[in-house]
């Protein structure tokens, strides 16, 4: 059963809503098939026409523009999803008794602090695994 999509929040900016709609639309398998079909059709027509230089330039320009646009679309939607996930994890961490609340600001930590926290948690995980054995 396919997942139902959440409604788009009207309080967000129009640009953000548009990028989300584009991301959702372009992530469909049908869109990939349409794009693949268009590329194959373009190649067939170009072959028949003798690969005109102008057509090749247009094709390359379109591909570059679409690629650049999709980079921004994907970056925007992933950043929003990551921020939402981070807020949810922060809430879970705050709600857990005995949790290390210093982890709430870990994304602002220095590389050394992040590395030290990782090593500390690896040791905690290893100790938990050793206890189970």
Please enumerate in sequence order all residues whose Cβ is within 8 A of that of 93, keeping only pairs 6 or more positions apart, or say none.
99, 100, 101, 103, 104
- Global confidence as pTM: 0.64
Per residue in 35-68, pLDDT (tens digit) is: 999 999 988 998 899 889 998 899 899 999 999 9
Per residue in 73-130, pLDDT (tens digit) is: 999 999 999 999 989 988 998 898 888 887 888 888 888 988 888 888 888 889 888 9
Crossing angle, helix 14-26 and helix 53-95, to 10 degrees? Answer: 110
């Amino acid at each position: 059963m396919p997942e139902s999509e959440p409604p788009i929040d009207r309080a967000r900016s129009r640009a953000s809503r548009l990028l989300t709609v584009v991301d959702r639309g372009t992530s469909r398998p049908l869109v990939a098939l349409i794009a693949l079909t268009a590329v194959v059709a373009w190649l067939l027509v170009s072959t028949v026409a003798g690969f005109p230089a102008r057509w090749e330039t247009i094709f390359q320009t379109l591909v570059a523009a679409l690629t650049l646009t999709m980079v921004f679309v994907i970056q925007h939607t992933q950043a929003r999803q990551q921020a939402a996930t981070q807020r949810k994890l922060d809430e879970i961490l705050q709600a857990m008794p005995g949790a290390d609340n210093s982890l709430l600001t870990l994304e602002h930590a220095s590389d050394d602090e992040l590395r030290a926290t990782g090593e500390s948690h690896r040791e905690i995980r290893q100790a938990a695994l050793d206890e189970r054995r």
